[in-house]
Amino acid sequence: MTTEHGAFALLCLTSLLAIINPLSATPMYLALTDGYTSEHRRRTVRSAV
Protein backbone atom coordinates (compact mmCIF):
# COMPACT_ATOMS: atom_id res chain seq x y z
CA MET A 1 0.00 0.00 0.00
CA THR A 2 2.82 2.44 0.81
CA THR A 3 4.49 1.71 -2.52
CA GLU A 4 1.27 2.56 -4.33
CA HIS A 5 0.99 5.86 -2.47
CA GLY A 6 4.61 6.70 -3.23
CA ALA A 7 4.18 5.89 -6.90
CA PHE A 8 1.03 8.02 -7.08
CA ALA A 9 2.76 10.94 -5.32
CA LEU A 10 5.69 10.72 -7.73
CA LEU A 11 3.33 10.64 -10.69
CA CYS A 12 1.50 13.73 -9.40
CA LEU A 13 4.74 15.60 -8.76
CA THR A 14 6.18 14.90 -12.20
CA SER A 15 2.88 15.85 -13.83
CA LEU A 16 2.80 19.17 -12.00
CA LEU A 17 6.41 19.91 -12.92
CA ALA A 18 5.63 19.22 -16.57
CA ILE A 19 2.63 21.55 -16.48
CA ILE A 20 4.26 24.38 -14.52
CA ASN A 21 7.75 24.05 -16.05
CA PRO A 22 9.61 26.42 -13.71
CA LEU A 23 12.68 26.59 -15.95
CA SER A 24 10.75 28.31 -18.72
CA ALA A 25 8.50 30.33 -16.39
CA THR A 26 11.39 32.05 -14.59
CA PRO A 27 12.69 34.15 -17.53
CA MET A 28 9.13 35.22 -18.35
CA TYR A 29 8.51 36.24 -14.74
CA LEU A 30 11.75 38.23 -14.66
CA ALA A 31 10.89 39.98 -17.92
CA LEU A 32 7.40 40.88 -16.74
CA THR A 33 8.65 42.24 -13.41
CA ASP A 34 11.67 44.08 -14.82
CA GLY A 35 11.03 47.46 -13.14
CA TYR A 36 9.86 46.03 -9.81
CA THR A 37 11.80 46.26 -6.57
CA SER A 38 12.81 42.98 -4.95
CA GLU A 39 10.10 43.43 -2.30
CA HIS A 40 7.44 43.97 -4.96
CA ARG A 41 8.64 40.83 -6.79
CA ARG A 42 8.34 38.80 -3.59
CA ARG A 43 4.80 40.07 -3.01
CA THR A 44 3.92 39.22 -6.61
CA VAL A 45 5.17 35.66 -6.22
CA ARG A 46 3.35 35.19 -2.92
CA SER A 47 0.06 36.42 -4.36
CA ALA A 48 0.46 34.16 -7.40
CA VAL A 49 1.04 31.07 -5.30
Average pLDDT of the chain to the nearest whole number: 90
Cβ neighbours for 33, distance < 8 A, ≥ 6 positions apart: 40, 41, 44
Number of domains in the chain: 1
User: Which runs of consecutive H residues, i.e. helices, occur in the chain?
Assistant: 2-20, 22-32, 38-48
5 in a domain, yes or no?
no
Distance of CA 32 to the CA centre of its chain: 16
Q: What is the mean pLDDT of residues 5-19?
A: 92
More reliable by pLDDT, 15 or 48? 15
For residue 44, give its domain range. 22-49
State residue 1's pLDDT score. Answer: 62
10 in a domain, yes or no?
no
Q: What is the mean pLDDT of residues 27-40?
A: 92
14 in a domain, yes or no?
no
36 in a domain, yes or no?
yes
Dist CA 44 CA 28 (whole Å) = 13
